[in-house]
Amino acid sequence: MGVKESDTGLAPPNLWDIPADKQRMSEEHPLQVARCTKIIRVDPIKAAAAAAVNPAGAMQGQKGADEQDQYVINIKQIAKFVVGLGERVAPTDVEEGMRVGVDRNKYQIQIPLPPKIDPSVTMMQVEEKPDVTYSDIGGCKEQIEKLREVVETPLLSPERFVKLGIDPPKGVLLYGPPGTGKTLCARAVANRTDATFIRVIGSELVQKYVGEGARMVRELFEMARGKKACIIFFDEVDAIGGARFDDGAGGDNEVQRTMLELINQLDGFDPRGNIKVLMATNRPDTLDPALLRPGRLDRRVEFNLPDNEGRAHILRIHARSMSVERDIRFDLIARLCPNTTGAELRSVATEAGMFAIRARRKVATERDFLDSVEKVVRQGTKFSSTCVTPLFEFPMIDPALS
């Protein structure tokens, strides 16, 4: 009762073909999952000799057992077998290390299977295209240009690097105070290149059991290689990329194994491939030198606090989606917010809208923004991650002279 057809995952009843499904189930037997560990190539001389013995079969395109490649498969918890291919599988479909489906009688390979990837790794992929563009980011003009020439140009125009005979950078490290636009820039680059965007939080790779974190890193890059173009963004990479040390208790050994696997993957994939790696951190001084060396992270892009022009630009960006008065002096408001990050300026715009809602007005005024600066910047100084100077300085007056 109350269950829709779409909730069951079944097709509408008018599309059912039960007799055909029963016939298919009787003809197609269940397969067993195995892994092809080795391919034994046939000797060309022996293949030619076998074809000479059976010229009629060679004329019809039929190959004997001596003319076909053999495959060593490993069925977990059973045994290893040397088998051939089924009628529906071509030799080019099977590679060493691939998962395959074999029948339960002769163990012939019937179908190649995709690689098995942990669901937790699959969930790291951002399915929808990032909706952030370069016009949505303020105060990061220089950083955006550096990212575009390192990430966007190799993906969109790889022939430029081929003609010059140089390899494009493999990875980029984004560092700076929190709230300065590191994640926004990474999402904007993914939007511009139409690349698959995979975001990984460093703490997600810190697992309880030995080897789990390294396995997740391997499967992450394996999934990325199957994409047309992919950008892997490691946020808070200092959780797994810290400098190695021996504390005597072995508590950080698993974290170090995960970092070593990440280093191995950075050195392993094709430098002109479709994978670009971005890493972001607030503490670049804590990262291991082996991770920072050229060849793994070739570029380091620093995100500083925006200047007055950048702060005004950020305020205008957030005001575009708001109902505000036309004559608001954003340059003045930006000067009243020294040493603030982009995230704090966004909070200023949000609080200005809250002041307008409290006053039951449909538009936010300049007075709302000034009150918002007083609330967010002045009162939030003690909680801020950056050093904020006082907005207004009043001279000290001797009480005796008043």
pLDDT per residue of the chain (402 residues) written in tens, 0 to 9: 454 555 555 677 787 888 888 887 777 778 888 888 888 887 766 656 655 655 554 444 555 555 678 888 888 878 888 888 888 788 887 888 788 888 887 778 888 887 776 666 766 776 667 778 888 888 888 888 888 888 888 888 888 888 888 888 878 899 998 888 888 888 888 788 777 888 888 877 777 667 777 888 888 888 787 777 788 888 888 888 777 766 555 556 777 888 888 888 887 655 445 788 889 898 888 888 888 888 788 888 999 999 999 999 999 999 988 888 888 898 999 998 888 888 899 999 999 999 999 999 999 999 999 999 988 887 755 444 454 444 444 344 444 444
CATH architecture, domain defined by 27-112: Beta Barrel (2.40)
HSE toward the beta carbon, residue 53, CA cutoff 13 A: 11
From the number of C-beta atoms within 10 Å of its C-beta (0-12, 13-18, 19+), residue 51 rates as middle
The CATH number of domain 308-381, selected from 3.30.70.260, 3.40.50.620, 3.40.30.10, 1.10.8.60:
1.10.8.60
- Other Cβ atoms less than 10 A from the Cβ of 231: the count is 26
DSSP secondary structure string, 89-110? --GGG--TT-EEEE-SSS--EE
326 phi/psi in degrees, rounded to 5: -80, -25
pLDDT of residue 135: 87
Cα separation, 293 vs 336, whole angstroms: 40
Q: Given this model, what pLDDT does residue 67 score?
A: 65
Give the whole-angstrom CA distance, residue 286 versus residue 244: 10
pTM above 0.75, yes or no: no
d(CA 93, CA 257): 34
- The greatest distance separating any two alpha carbons of the chain, rounded to the nearest whole angstrom, comes to 121
Sign of torsion over alpha carbons 274, 279, 284, 286:
negative
- Residue 356: per-residue pLDDT: 92
Residue 150: both structure tokens together: 């390192």
Amino acid, single-letter form, for residue 275? I
Cβ 33 vs Cβ 99: under 8 Å: yes
Read off the tokens for 281.
């951190």
d(CA 203, CA 235): 9
For the chain, domain boundaries: 27-112, 122-302, 308-381
Tokens standing for residue 389 = 């100077």
Task: For residue 240, give the nearest of 283, 301, 270 by alpha carbon.
Answer: 283
Vertex 145: Cα angle to 143 and 147 (nearest 5): 70
Structure tokens at 149: 């020439």
How many other C-beta atoms are found inside a 10 Å radius of the C-beta of residue 74?
13
Beta pairing partners, 102: 32, 109
If we measure between CA atoms, which residue out of 189, 199, 191 comes closest to residue 148? 189
> What's residue 326's pLDDT?
86
- List of residues 6+ apart from 370 with CB closer than 8 A: 333, 336
Residue with tokens 């810190």: 206
CA angle 244, 289, 204 (to 5 degrees): 60
CATH homologous superfamily of 122-302 equals P-loop containing nucleotide triphosphate hydrolases (3.40.50.300)
Q: Please tell me whether residue 87 adopts helix, strand or coil conformation.
A: coil
Note the residue count of the chain.
402
